[in-house]
Structure 1
Amino acid sequence: MTKSTATGSSRDRLEACLARIEDPAGEGRRAMIRLYTDRARACADASDIRARLGLGLGPLDGRVISIKDLFDIPGEATTAGSKLLRDAAPATTEAPAIARLRAAGAVIIGKTNMTEFAFSGVGINPHYGTPGNPADRSRIPGGSSSGGAVSVADGMAEITIGSDTGGSTRIPAALCGIVGLKPSQYRIPTTGAFPLSFSLDSIGPMGRTVADCAAADAVMAGETPAALSPMALAGLRLGIPRGLLLENLEAAVVQAFDIALAVLGKAGVSLSDQPLDLLAPMLEATGKGPFAAIEAAHIHRDWFESRAGDFDPLVRGRIERGRTIPAMDYVFAQRRRTELIRAMDARLADLDALVLPTTAITAPKIADLANEEAAFTAANLLLLRNPSMANFFDLCAISLPLPVSGLPVGLMLVARNGQDRRLLQIAAGIEKII
């Protein structure tokens, strides 16, 4: 079992995180929904005692972790970023992913803000406020795991746990300049996490390093964390998906991506253009309505009858679309997806991973999107376009921060289902040179 790479006592690091949260000039009141201060201090003290006795539980023992406001914690309502659930019945069982983190010695500091019901890649929340991007507080953090990304980037937590249905860990990671992982869907149980889409939801971590994400992923998947060995890059086969996923890129994204490709090429990576002809059938299959909208319409059907006015209007409109999709179109899309997943797996068999920008744009200004539906929709589509492909085809993917002088830009690696550990090793190798 590997040891934690964090320096200093767990209690000291926790107190530093709490101070960042309480800083009146910071984003704590918008990034964090709920704090577990007393319990976190007790857990940090227990971790420090284990460390002194040489009885550490592994790399997450004593690490300060925030969790998205959609995970069940016994004794409290799971609000999922919505005022609709403020008076919901308290959870009675802890989400398995979170219980496994606690068993590994993690210090759960609190719950983080999110897009209402996790239904956008933007990160705006009219109920609890929108945490400002750490690179520019006037800009969006990305969503839907918005507060989590800000909590790590701003030093309120060392690792955060979010969900990813169409990019909700990778988008905010890319926009906030940290690492975000979407594992293969089967790896981590989604039980106890308020759902958006049964077909697409995954649970994944964000952190400052690939190693931190790898450790959290292993623990939540029920595995024993092992030291992550960066993969040698010479001879690595990375495909560049020319076509739709590289269209309409912001100039800053193009520049950062081109520099990254040049660095990879100099390191001996074999880069090849890969026209992904399966994207057109994917769009055709979901043309009548995306899975998230249809399945969210099912999940929220009762509230739509009685409390439609309490939804964030931008979220309500997306769910409303799902209410109009006939069952036969949904069944067709599901069956077609099964075929396309097999086809994509075969398509990627000769590659180690795909490499592309995580998002087509950098973070827009909050004011430009908060009250303008057309601008919100356009930005949301550009943010979701690249990462959502991995969810549809049930792949694993990770976003790495690129070195830029302006707003953060993410580099995304996408690999076949079940190749999570190998993807993390590749990402660790690339992390060393970028």
Structure 2
Amino acid sequence: MKADLIATRQALIEGKTHPLATAQACLDVAQSSACQHAFLQITPESLKKTATQPAVTGQVLAGLAVSVKDLFDIEGQVTAAGSVVLQNQQPARQDAPAIARLRAAGAGFIGRTNMVEFAFSGVGINPHHGTPAAWDALTDRPVGEAQAPRIPGGSSSGAAVSVATGAAFIGLGSDTGGSIRIPAALNGIVGFKNTARLVPTQGAIPLSTTLDTVCAMTRTVRDTVLAHEILSGRKVPKAHKPLSSYRLAIVQSLMQDSMDSVVSRAFERSLVALRAAGAQIQEIPLRELLDIVPMMATGGFSPAESFAWHRDWLGKDADQYDPRVAQRIQRGAQMAAHEYIHLQSARANWITRVEAALQGYDAILSPTLPIVGPCLSDVAPGPERDAEFFRVNALLLRNPSTINTLDGCAISLPCHAPGELPVGLMAWHTAMHDDTILQLAALLEPVLQRH
């Protein structure tokens, strides 16, 4: 795996490399075949200018490359959310808060990354701008190199590939139902979904105002902690306790259903390795998770809330939308007001019951996804592949989206061995357990890497 942000920053401080050389190395990767379709816009001059500016106290990113999902406002740039519908809109008049915080920390913005149109899918396909192929950061090579290219995961597809290939140290994205953790798992990198309220969502085109979360992907946990501290404007306290002091659980319900053989082997090996390292892991039923299926029977929050935003655009430009995205948004028109209100109260009640069931546990461990990424050709645009696309999409979203519905926090860590397709291990809990999840992840990471 390429050097992470913190190691590169230390090399800059020690004079072992030059900021401009580091910026150029990232640009070379971003403009290479490894990042084909990963970027919608690359901004070399902006990155180089930031990289060569005099160091300012507190600018912990030191001009290092950060990619930005095409969902966020950057002053002077058009925010199109991976669509063609919005590509001729007026440029943003100011930075989104997340962009402003990264800029204040000294981020060098390398460009805008490709994404699923309007962030409405976990697969990563974009019929307008092409789809980047997954890249395994652990081995620094394309996923499916000897076979066919694999899906990158979505919706933050380009962000994940930019980080996995080494074009960016941080990939800013969003997570409404897994859009950070899905591509992180499928590209062998780290993806952290914080508790939604910790980072402002203003200046980002919404998918679901209830579930949207602004967060990022990196190559290591320590980089993830730094990225979260910048985005949330808060410090993550250091923990000084061993892995054996954490009370961990795995759940029998939902999260381990329909695992393919590659994921199952990687997950079981990870548990064996963690137990050997002293982790105390208990299996619990947590049957409350099964209630999410009937609770979401009317479609959930995303279709209804996205339809409210897209209604006028769909009325005049529906033919310019990705048909698969339009189909999911238009489902929101069918939800009645009383169903939406009932869903809000049902969710609140469900969260309370799950929180009660998890009292006493520091984190729950699950596979991030039950399957490895399929070949791009299996789910490429086309009505003849729609059934397979929606089947895969549902499987990819199932585990991560449960945490969004829970208003929780979660991190995905790579847990596959070299030669295997990328697999993620997810550590998660309910709202405002972010510090514990990040502290635990720092202990899990070296065990998983050795394993």
TM (normalized to structure 2)? Answer: 0.91
Cα gap change, 1:88 to 1:231, in 2 (>3 Å):
farther
Confirm whether residue 357 of structure 1 aligns to residue 367 of structure 2: yes
TM-aligned CA deviation for residue 281 of structure 1: 2.5
Partner Cα distance (2:60, 2:443) in 1: 20
| Counterpart mapping for 1:141-180 below 5 A | 141-180=152-191
Query: In the alignment, what sits opposite 2:138?
Result: none
Partner Cα distance (1:44, 1:258) in 2: 43
- Identify the match of residue 251 of structure 1 among 246, 257, 261: 261
Indicate conservation of the 8 Å contact 2:247/2:361, yes or no: yes
Cα gap change, 1:267 to 1:224, in 2 (>3 Å):
closer
Query: In the alignment, what sits opposite 1:212?
Result: 223
| Counterpart mapping for 1:268-283 below 5 A | 268-283=278-293
Which amino acid in structure 1 is aligned with residue 205 of structure 2? F
Confirm whether residue 340 of structure 1 aligns to residue 350 of structure 2: yes
Secondary structure of 1:151's aligned partner: helix
TM-aligned CA deviation for residue 11 of structure 1: 2.0
Query: In the alignment, what sits opposite 1:388?
Result: 401
| Counterpart mapping for 1:96-135 below 5 A | 96-134=97-135, 135=143
Indicate conservation of the 8 Å contact 2:132/2:161, yes or no: yes
Query: In the alignment, what sits opposite 1:184?
Result: 195
TM (normalized to structure 1)? Answer: 0.94
Partner Cα distance (2:357, 2:188) in 1: 30
Query: In the alignment, what sits opposite 1:16?
Result: 25
Indicate conservation of the 8 Å contact 2:416/2:424, yes or no: no
Secondary structure of 1:341's aligned partner: helix
- Identify the match of residue 45 of structure 1 among 28, 42, 52: 52
| Counterpart mapping for 1:221-236 below 5 A | 221-224=232-235, 232-236=242-246
Secondary structure of 1:240's aligned partner: strand
Partner Cα distance (1:327, 1:389) in 2: 23
Any unmatched runs of 5+ in structure 2?
12-16, 136-142
Partner Cα distance (2:221, 2:114) in 1: 23
TM-aligned CA deviation for residue 272 of structure 1: 1.0
Which amino acid in structure 2 is aligned with residue 313 of structure 1? P
Any unmatched runs of 5+ in structure 1?
none
TM-aligned CA deviation for residue 321 of structure 1: 1.3
Partner Cα distance (1:225, 1:105) in 2: 20
TM-aligned CA deviation for residue 375 of structure 1: 0.1
TM-aligned CA deviation for residue 328 of structure 1: 0.8
Cα gap change, 1:231 to 1:16, in 2 (>3 Å):
farther
Which amino acid in structure 1 is aligned with residue 52 of structure 2? D
Partner Cα distance (2:425, 2:241) in 1: 17
Which 4+ stretches in 1 moved above 6 angstroms?
A: none
The range that moved more, 379-388 or 266-275, is: 266-275
Which amino acid in structure 1 is aligned with residue 410 of structure 2? A
Secondary structure of 1:299's aligned partner: helix
1:38-73 Cα shifts (integer Å, max 9, x gaps): 121111111xx32xxxx5425322321101000001
Confirm whether residue 263 of structure 1 aligns to residue 273 of structure 2: yes
Query: In the alignment, what sits opposite 1:5?
Result: 7
Secondary structure of 2:216's aligned partner: strand
Confirm whether residue 423 of structure 1 aligns to residue 437 of structure 2: yes
Secondary structure of 1:238's aligned partner: strand
Indicate conservation of the 8 Å contact 1:33/1:110, yes or no: yes
TM-aligned CA deviation for residue 89 of structure 1: 2.0
Indicate conservation of the 8 Å contact 2:253/2:289, yes or no: no
Query: In the alignment, what sits opposite 2:329?
Result: 319
Confirm whether residue 374 of structure 1 aligns to residue 387 of structure 2: yes
Cα gap change, 1:63 to 1:232, in 2 (>3 Å):
farther
TM-aligned CA deviation for residue 231 of structure 1: 5.0
Which amino acid in structure 2 is aligned with residue 17 of structure 1? C
Partner Cα distance (2:160, 2:216) in 1: 10
TM-aligned CA deviation for residue 26 of structure 1: 2.7
TM-aligned CA deviation for residue 229 of structure 1: 5.0
Partner Cα distance (2:38, 2:228) in 1: 22
Secondary structure of 2:416's aligned partner: coil
